Structure 1
Amino acid sequence: MVKTVVRQIHLWLGLLSGLLVFIIAITGAIYTFQEEIQDAMKDYRFTAVQQTPVKLPSDLLPIAENELPGKKVHSIQYSTASRSVEALFYSAEKGNDYYYIVYLNPYSGEVLGVENVATSFFRIILDGHMYLWLPRNIGAPVVLIATLVFLVMVISGIVLWWPKQRKNAKQRLSFQWRSSTSVKRKTWDLHAVIGFYASWVALIFIITGLVWVLPGFANGFHKAMGGEKSMLYHEPVSIKDSSKAFQDPLDLLFIKEWERRHAFKSIELHPVETDSSSIVVVTNELEGTYWKSNYRYFNQYSLKELPVTHIWGEYNDATAADKVLRMNYDIHVGAIGGFAGKMAAFLFSLMIASLPVTGFLIWWRR
């Protein structure tokens, strides 16, 4: 009786949400290797290593801003010796939103490429994954509902798969195609067997996705793990003191950090936007992930380091609960496990995308 009800729930929710789940899963699979694909296709992301010193931020910022008149650099990132410097231009202001990256030769300042990220292929893929290519205020709630429905689908699918007798479990863990040539049986196996294995990874995708889009869920998840700090990112205020103003504070902080560049793979600096902004300096110990980044904030006048009470501070100050939340994006895309982790995320995303297809075929052939 219970399984009959669960089966009906699984069926009708699947028919209603199948197309959305397919789009979310397939776009997630495509997005997984976006960094690797862009590195392979865009040679301006790299530069020849030279034995000369790299240019300072004060040298590169005017060059980058000259490429995009009327726009200001949001951040500038130096990576490994063979990578271009990235000057990122970003604004979410209504009616004046944009997202560009200007790639610069760190040794000469030459502009190697300008990319409009907002219209790039992988941005379009990401918009499909997060908003189904709908306006954000419509697409985001629809994706959230689809995700919650898929959570019910995953749980109900596990319930339906689970055998009454343990001895029958082995048969449900592998394809039973030798005993039957029926297309119907093969379709059923594709749905049930793949669905069982994919369900456990799908739960990770769902939880990390909900953490990403639902601040309330993320906060509750963080507290349940013992987290005490705020998850809300904010930059501390710089107390104005013109008597201590430096001419090029970004350069001074860069030089200080660059002296210990053996300790990190990239350094990102955020120029101030107002007279009360702090200067943000982000150093990342790893390449390809973000969770181990150190976020530091400095008074733009005195260059005194400013403390923060949220989780986006120095990595060594983060608790276990803080680190899990900082890992969220890297877990979601599989980057936490390196190339193998990304490959797993890619394959499981494809497996998840296949479930609405095989589920529909099972229903159709009935």
Structure 2
Amino acid sequence: MTLKKIIGKVHLWLGFTSGIVVFIIAVTGCLYAFQAEISKLTGKTYRQVAPQNAPYLQPTQLKDIVEKQLPGKHVHSVQYGARDEAVVATFYNFEPGNEYYYTIYANPYDGAVLKVKNMDRDFFRIVLLGHYYLWLPEAVGQRITIYATIIFVVMMITGIILWWPGNKAAAKQRFSIKWNAAWRRKNYDLHNVLGFYMTWVVIFMAITGLIFGWQLLANAVYKTAGGKKSLTYQEPLSVITKLAQASALPVDKLWGQMQREHKDAATIEMHFPATDKSAIEVAVNTDAATYWKTDYRFFDQYTLKELPVNHIYGRFKDAKGADKLLRMNYDIHVGAIAGLPGKIVAFFASLIAASLPITGFMIWWGRRKKKPSR
């Protein structure tokens, strides 16, 4: 058996072991590619408001309004956007036995509640859980997706080796699909030609996806790039001994400060401290289409003094090259780093990736059923 035949066998059996999982991950990724655009379009009635020549309500005023919609549940944050956008209030608790995840959209000028959304029933939330965990318990599903993605990366490498033409004559047939051929030949070309073009995009999507779920790889990439901070998000603590100096309505005061300091902000998200030791987190993003440039700032809830952090999710101006690389991971994964063209490429790459297990199985099945020549 030649080396290429051995690689072919490896490619085949890896495909059998990971095909269904790869199909689910690719299809859900394809569906999620334009989540932001579709959600904005379909939720136009409650996501957009008529802009007014009036000030926004303060964060604590909005907090009081939205918490009345969900008695017993506590708002985690409120996010302000453009003048014609609703404020987004987020509620969540992931502790077993008392789990919930809601989003409330409200008019930032008068506090009118426009929509109360149970995110556990949201279409794109369900799609995302399938993409991350295959709709299985997190500990089980995440492990399976990691293994399947690693296998898929190996398959892409072995696929390129199998695709590689042996001579110039063969090379002419490897870059285009012969549409006027029999269906078996067309299926073969769909698998090989589209697989070749897709590989150069999807391999980055697969690696960035692995960085999300596989902490060992994330740390290895970060350290190799020269990173020296922690990748684990850890909130700094307020100094509880300074309780007597507590500022009245500290979140509102910081909201005013952020408006003055970040006049170019596309969104400002104010987080309410969960405990008497928690800091007040503020997330300021200058580009609503991506996340990697977001400023994450933390303040003592009593003194309003800004607190330093030793992880990559701090001030953007303090981020080094390795920090920015890891911050970009999500935006690279979904193609948003290159704007709308990047998302379109990611969509079609995911669509082709979803087709490969199907066309690959049909190639195997066709060869299995092929009658031996006389």
- Shorter-chain-normalised TM-score: which range? over 0.9
> 1:170, CA displacement in angstroms?
3.9
Deviations 1:90-113 (A, max 9, x none): 111111111111111000011111
Task: Within 5 Å, give how 1:11-160 maps onto structure 2.
Answer: 11-42=12-43, 43-160=45-162
Matched with 2:333 is 332
Partner of 1:210: 210
Matched letter for residue 146 of structure 1: A
Which residue number corresponds to residue 233 of structure 1?
233
1:182-331 maps to which residues of 2 (within 5 A)? Answer: 182-240=182-240, 241-331=242-332
* Partner deviation per Cα, 1:123-154 (whole Å, 9 max, x = no partner): 11111111112222221111111111111111
| Offset of residue 266 of structure 1 | 0.5
| Gapped regions of structure 2 (runs ≥ 5) | 368-374
Deviates more, 1:287-296 or 1:158-167: 158-167
For 1:262, what is the secondary structure of its paired residue?
coil
Q: Does 1:172 align with 2:186?
A: no
Structure 1: gaps of 5 or more residues: none
Q: CA deviation at 1:261?
A: 4.6
> What is the CA–CA distance in structure 2 between the aligned matches of 1:210 and 1:257, rounded to whole Å?
35
Q: CA deviation at 1:117?
A: 0.8
Residues in 2 aligned to 1:91 and 1:355: alpha-carbon distance in whole angstroms: 38
Q: Aligned partner of 1:283: which letter?
A: V
Cα distance in structure 1, aligned partners of 2:17 and 2:120:
31
| 1:167 Cα offset (Å) | 6.1
**Structure 2 length normalisation: TM-score?**
0.95
Q: Deviations over 1:249-301 (max 9, x none)?
A: 00000011112453210001111111111110110010121100000110111
The percentage of counterpart residues that share the same residue type is: 49
> SS of the counterpart of 1:312?
coil
- Within 2, Cα distance between the matches of 1:162 and 1:314? 46
RMSD (Å) for aligned C-alpha atoms: 1.2
Shift of 1:169: 2.9
Counterpart secondary structure, 1:263: coil
C-alpha displacement of 1:38: 1.0
Alpha-carbon offset, residue 193 of structure 1: 0.3
CA shift digits 1:193-227 (9 cap, x unpaired): 00111111121111101110011110111111111
Tell me the secondary structure at the aligned position of residue 310 of structure 1. coil
Question: What's the CA shift for 1:175?
Answer: 1.8
SS at match of 2:351: helix
Letter in 1 for 2:104: V
Alpha-carbon distance in 1 for matches of 2:216, 2:20: 27
Cα deviation, residue 62, structure 1? 0.7
Post-superposition Cα deviations, 1:38-87, rounded to whole Å, max 9, x if no partner, equal 11111201111000110001110011111011111111100111110011
Separation of aligned partners in 2, 1:290 and 1:230: 19
Aligned residues: 364
